[in-house]
Structures are given as C-alpha cells and as structure tokens.
Amino acid sequence: MISKEDIHKVLEGYDKKKLTIATIGSHTALQIMKGAKDEGFRTLVICRPGKEDFYGRFGIADDILSVKEYIDILDDEFQQKLIEKNVILIPHGSFVEYVGAKNIEDKLRVPVFGNRAVLGWESDRGREREWLIKAGVRVPREFDRPEDIDCLSIVKFPGARGGRNYFLAKNAVEFEENIRGMKLEDRENFTIQEYIIGTRFYPHYFYSPLKNRVELLGIDIRYETNVDGVARISHLLGEHPNPSFVVAGNIPVVARESLLPRMMDIAENLVKASKDLFKPGMVGPFCIESICTENLEFIVFEISARIVAGTNLYMQGSQYSQLLYDEPMSTGRRIAREIKDAGKENLTRIVL
C-alpha cells in the first residue's frame, strides 16, 4: 500500500512549472487532454498498441506512450518514466476498470488527481451502498437471493464494463434462465436491484476542496445497446429478447429547474458523507446514476466517483457550466483548472 506520505514525497520532487497531465487512452482521454491543453499543461496519453494514431490525430497529446496491457503502467520502470515527466494521472472509468482500484491504492506511486481511496468505495457495491445510505440518498431495494425477487429487477455485475451482461428478471425463474449461460465467476458475484421506472438523469458534478463547493457541469442520459434499439420496435419482434444494457454513447438532457436544488443537495450530502467515510473525502468529478420517478423523487442506483463518459457531451461546456464559467468548461478542463488553482502550495490537497 502506497501511503499519502509516499505520494506527497514524489510530488515534492516535481518541477511544478512543468507538470504533465496524463491518462489512459480511452473513456474521456480526449476531453482530459483538451482541457489540460486549454489550461496550459503538457499532456501525455498511455495507449495500447494500435491506438497511437488515433490519439495523435487531434494535436492535443504532447506525448504518447505505448503499453502492451494497461496493467503494465504499474511496472516500476514505467512509473519512474512518468514521475520523471512530472505526471499527474487522471483516473477515469476505463482506467479504474483496467488497472484496478486496489492496484491503484496499493502499487501506484505516480500522483493521481483526487483521493485514490474513493476508488475502492465506488467500485465495491457494498461500500457504495453504505455511502449512499449514509448520505441520506434514496436507493433501490436490493435482493440478496434470487428467491427474494418480488418485482421487476435488474441484475448487475461488478466493474465498469459498461453494463455488459446486465439483465432484467421479474422472479427467480427468470433469474435462473438468464444466469445459466454465464461464467461461474460472474454467477457468484451479482447484485439484484429493484428496477425503477422513470426518467434517467446522470448529473455530472465537480467538488472543489479549494473553493469548498460542488458544481453542476452537465447531465446526460446513457444510450444503451441493445435495449434502446429493442424498445423502438419491440412490438414488432416475434419473440421478446431480454435486452442488454451495454453503454454505447450518451445523449444530452437538462432537468426541470425545480429539480436542480434537490440534485445539488444529493451531491453535497454525498461529499459530506465521504468526508466521514474516508478522510478528507471525495475530490474532483463525480456522477450519480439516478431515476426520477413520476413523483419527481430521485432514486440513486450508483455513484461514480471519477470523471464519467457522459461528460464527453460537454467538451465545449454545458448549459450549466456556463452559469459558472465564462469559458467553455468541460469536466476535463475543470480538473486541469483545479490543478492550476492549487499551484505549488495546495497540490497535496487535491492529490491524495
């Protein structure tokens, strides 16, 4: 386990005038690098073979490093190379998925933006639920055993694999039908959640410890295959396949203004709860996955405590970001701005 002290020692050795913002080439890397460039940083992207050309074509990557597998960034030599370049890593969904929350906490000496302790909380469904409940947020019911299912439910599997293999079931029989074909490992590691019907909202927030405020930077709806394709013509399908929920993209949305205060309350309560659960709490971007019911109540079924893919809609800023910022402020740029604002003195408050 790498301690905060170890990381802050690495930070101490950095040339603060030559920081490099880096991430893994996937998920929100384009946005992160564009934002970093806009704020005057050098950028670096770590790619798997074959992706270098793609990431090179936009003129926003000052440096491109290749690794065979993303996990290789944990190699001592590779880490040393990053440290020599004064790298601050920005974790995103694929980053956490491919490197692993535990590996990041235990083995990554390179400074990472935010509080790396949060990654263990958001990627473990049990702790995630504890956090949500502690924050007073409404969550869906969960069923420990398939036999307990008494309403339409969604069955989920661990990791940020974008909804792969998720399925719906109304009872234990449908559960069994769906789980039968899966690998043993998956079959033992599921969560059964009440499926809430309503409008989906995935608000993107940013918590700045420097300003001590939560900002709303945009909202999206996930565009999922094949459920969104099935829904369009479901009555024409002879048989009704169980849809899959693989996130393929995102669609922009705004919420009724009278819902925004509640949306902000939820976010602030989550920040507050995080300060109790893992001091000094969450830092930087996060997102809740929520459903707004017909009674206009929000049920929160997940929290992502890092930049989410839906923010890619707002690489030019959003309706909401421009209430706060005169420039086009994406979440990627907001991260870079926080690092810039921290300057030499306060980097240890946002790299934990």
Cβ-Cβ contacts under 8 Å for 198 (sequence gap 6 or more):
291, 292, 293, 294, 299
DSSP state for residue 68 in the 8-state scheme? S
* Residue recorded with tokens 């996060």: 286
Q: 165 or 191: whose CB is closer to a copy of itself?
A: 165
Which C-beta is closer to a copy of itself: that of 71 or that of 197?
197
| Residue 237 sits in the site that holds a copy of itself (CB under 8 A) | yes
Compare residues 114 and 317 and give the one whose CB is closer to a copy of itself. 317
Binding a copy of itself (rule: CB under 8 A), the pick from 13, 40, 49, 59 is: 59
* Shortest distance, position 294 Cβ to a copy of itself, whole Å: 4
Q: How far is the CB of 128 from a copy of itself (least distance, A)?
A: 22
Residues 317-336 that bind a copy of itself (CB under 8 A): 317-320, 322-324, 328
CA separation, residue 149 to residues 213, 244, 286, 302 (Å): 40, 19, 30, 20
Closest contact distance (angstroms) between CB of 278 and a copy of itself is: 26
Q: Which stretch binds a copy of itself (CB under 8 A): 66-74, 78-86, 131-139, 230-238?
A: 230-238
- Least distance CB 169 / a copy of itself (angstroms): 9
- Three-state SS for 54? helix
Kindly tell me the sign of the dihedral angle through the C-alpha atoms of 58, 59, 61, 65.
positive
Q: Which of residues 79-138 bind a copy of itself (CB under 8 A)?
A: 94
Is 215:206 a contact under the CB 8 Å cutoff?
A: yes
Burial of 186 (0-12, 13-18, 19+ CB in 10 A): middle
Using the minimum distance from each CB to a copy of itself, give the nearer residue, 219 or 283.
Answer: 219
Nearest distance in Å: CB 64, a copy of itself: 13
Site string for a copy of itself, 13-32 (x = CB under 8 A): -------------xxxxx--
Provide the 3-class DSSP secondary structure of residue 33. Answer: helix
Among the listed residues 223, 272, 346, 348, the single contact to a copy of itself using CB under 8 A? 223
Planar angle of CA 268, 270, 271, nearest 5 degrees: 65
**214 near 268, Cβ under 8 Å?**
yes
1 near a copy of itself (CB under 8 A): no
Query: Please, which residue, 139 or 264, has the CB nearer to a copy of itself?
Result: 264
Element (H, E) at 155: strand 153-156
d(CA 12, CA 85): 13
Q: Are 260 and 311 in contact (CB under 8 A)?
A: no
Distance, in Å, from the CA atom of 289 to the CA atom of 40, rounded to the nearest integer, reads: 32
Q: Which is nearer to a copy of itself, 281 or 310 (CB)?
A: 310
Rank residues 3 and 295 by Cβ distance to a copy of itself and give the closer one: 295
Q: 115: cis peptide before it, omega within 30°?
A: no
Nearest to 262 by CA among 309, 223, 296, 220: 296
159-218: contacts with a copy of itself (CB under 8 A): 162, 168, 170, 195-201, 213
Cα–Cα distance between 230 and 241 in angstroms, integer? 8
Q: Given the rule CB under 8 A, which of 14-22, 76-84, 246-254, 299-307 is the region that contacts a copy of itself?
A: 246-254
Nearer to a copy of itself, 72 or 265 (CB): 265
Could you give the CA distance from residue 42 to residue 63 in angstroms, rounded to a whole number?
Answer: 8
149 contacts a copy of itself (rule: CB under 8 A): no
CB of 234 to a copy of itself, least distance (A): 4
Cβ of residue 274: shortest distance to a copy of itself, in angstroms?
Answer: 20
Q: Which of residues 280-319 bind a copy of itself (CB under 8 A)?
A: 291-294, 296, 309, 312-319
